[in-house]
Structure 1
Amino acid sequence: MKSKFLLFLTFLLVFSSCNFTENLNVKDDGTGTFALEMDGAGLMAMAGDKLSEGLNQKKDTKVIDSTFSFKEIFEAKKDSIAKLSPEQQAALKKMENFVMRIKMNAEKQQFLFSMDTPFKSVADLQNMMDGFKILNDLKGKSDNGGMANPLTDGLGSNAKVDYSYNGKTFTRSATMNKEALDKVKNDSLGMAKMIFASSKYTLKYHFPKAVKSVSNPDALFSADRKTITVEYPFTDYSENPEKLNLNVVFE
């Protein structure tokens, strides 16, 4: 039943768009919050009732508003996690404070999916996506026979991403790993490219100081210059994560 639903969901993603947003909020003391968000309103517009049934497995439920922590996921997967290497377990440990939220309302054509976490330093976010890939592998093998889930795969990344902030400058640096790059090239005409062909990936970064300059020429500024936004087609970002590299200098 789950496999049939995922096939149905994949079909919908091919013919509708989803917007992914990387939302970063940095405070004066360097602490802040980080969130990965997906707006799947296009899915709800096409088949809200079927999507609700597939996720909730209750035909009479039209609204879903669910929140749970990654600690709960890890507890359910503790036996599998114990078999992982120390490095893989450490990568998952970084994700313990993430909270996942799903809001779905077929009548309002609303489908919002987010994962967010607080951080004590921007450096805490280094290579955070490693944990998502490991968790996706664990969930994929046990929950759906190894079949890819477009939702969680879409929030992943094909690169190592480093962040730094010292009050004067901020940098976001993505480096594509060879294995992921080869996979993307091999699938350049495959399902993944079809699924996200009309989707967008957006960076929305909020800082405590006004921005003097930013290296990315496509960045847009808020009126107070404390927020920058950069948007790219998702497939462009997936194949060339370096396009969203940033070097920000504050006033």
Structure 2
Amino acid sequence: MKKLIGLAVVMGFMLQSCVTTEEVTVKKDGVITYAMDMDFSELLQTMPSANGGMSGDVKKALDLINGEELSVDQLLDISLLESKNPEQKKDSILKANPDLLKKTENLRMRVMMNDSIGNIGLKVIAKSASELNTSLANLKELSALGEGNGKKLDAPEFVKHSTYDWKKKTLQRTISVKPEDAAKSLGEMGQMAAMFTYRIKVSFEQPIKSVSYQDAMISQDGKSFVKEFKMSDVIANPKILEYKVELK
């Protein structure tokens, strides 16, 4: 169970995904939904069955959380299931990280996992671009979840250091992180980056007038675009994820 929950919450495992999709949806009223979907089904199919080594209790727990959107509070409870005195351990973690639940209250994570399907999703719903920026920076609070199994859990630096600006029908994303810091935060897993794809999808309620990516694929209705990168290119230069979109 600990390995399973570690997989569910550590965003560094995105590098084991065949495709990681980062989706931003912007509403006219300024509400922005940020979602990251990590699909590692193809990788999972090449590995021995994970279910073979699971106990009946672990399988039952997995069935309960599969497909459900979980709060950080729920993830913390799950991560401590196999700990001795889980309630005491949780109290200790929250005492050491008093702002953990407050700073991550609009964060949800979803896990889908069996022999052939592997998918992890993260979602943040923000009332404004400013709130989204704060929420992404607060992803560092996920490291507290690692205190239940001795492993530090965290989000990629280029996600936590993303800033979105939305005004006058214009959305702009900037990133303030050095390549060496992005690579360092991912450790040895960054060496596998060339094998994987990072996809950006941005959607609006109005048609797009222009996108700073000249080769972006704009949808038929003109209200969204998709741009793909090699993960190795993202790590080498996180600023390639920056963009500016103007709406009609």
What is the total number of aligned residue pairs between the two structures? 229
Shift of 1:176: 0.7
Instruction: Check 1:67–1:49 CA distance in 2 against 1; reply closer, same or farther (3 A cut).
Output: farther
Give the equivalent residue in structure 2 for 1:33.
33
Give the Cα separation in 2 of the matches to 1:233 and 1:113: 19
Give the equivalent residue in structure 2 for 1:10.
none
What is the root-mean-square deviation in Å for CA atoms of aligned residues?
3.7
Give the equivalent residue in structure 1 for 2:81.
none
Equivalent positions of 1:93-132 (< 5 A) are: 93-106=102-115, 109-132=116-139
Letter in 1 for 2:39: D
Letter in 1 for 2:183: V
Give the Cα separation in 2 of the matches to 1:238 and 1:55: 38
Shift of 1:44: 2.4
Equivalent residue in structure 2 for 1:69, among 63, 68, 71: 71
Query: TM-score, with normalisation over the residues of structure 1?
Result: 0.74
Contact in 2 for aligned 1:70/1:97 (Cα 8 Å): no
Shift of 1:172: 0.7
Give the Cα separation in 2 of the matches to 1:235 and 1:169: 29
Residue 174 (str. 1) matches residue 172 (str. 2): no
Moved more, 117-126 or 55-64: 55-64
Give the Cα separation in 2 of the matches to 1:231 and 1:173: 17
Give the equivalent residue in structure 2 for 1:47.
47
Letter in 1 for 2:173: R
Contact in 2 for aligned 1:71/1:97 (Cα 8 Å): no
Contact in 1 for aligned 2:157/2:182 (Cα 8 Å): no
Give the Cα separation in 1 of the matches to 2:183 and 2:60: 40
Query: What's the % identity of the aligned pairs?
Result: 27
Instruction: Check 1:69–1:185 CA distance in 2 against 1; reply closer, same or farther (3 A cut).
Output: closer
Secondary structure in 2 matching 1:216:
coil
Letter in 2 for 1:72: Q
Deviations 1:93-115 (A, max 9, x none): 34212221111232xx2111111
More helix by share: 2
Letter in 2 for 1:124: E
Query: TM-score, with normalisation over the residues of structure 2?
Result: 0.74
Shift of 1:194: 2.8
Contact in 1 for aligned 2:17/2:38 (Cα 8 Å): no
Instruction: Check 1:217–1:47 CA distance in 2 against 1; reply closer, same or farther (3 A cut).
Output: same
Instruction: Check 1:119–1:125 CA distance in 2 against 1; reply closer, same or farther (3 A cut).
Output: same
Shift of 1:62: 8.8
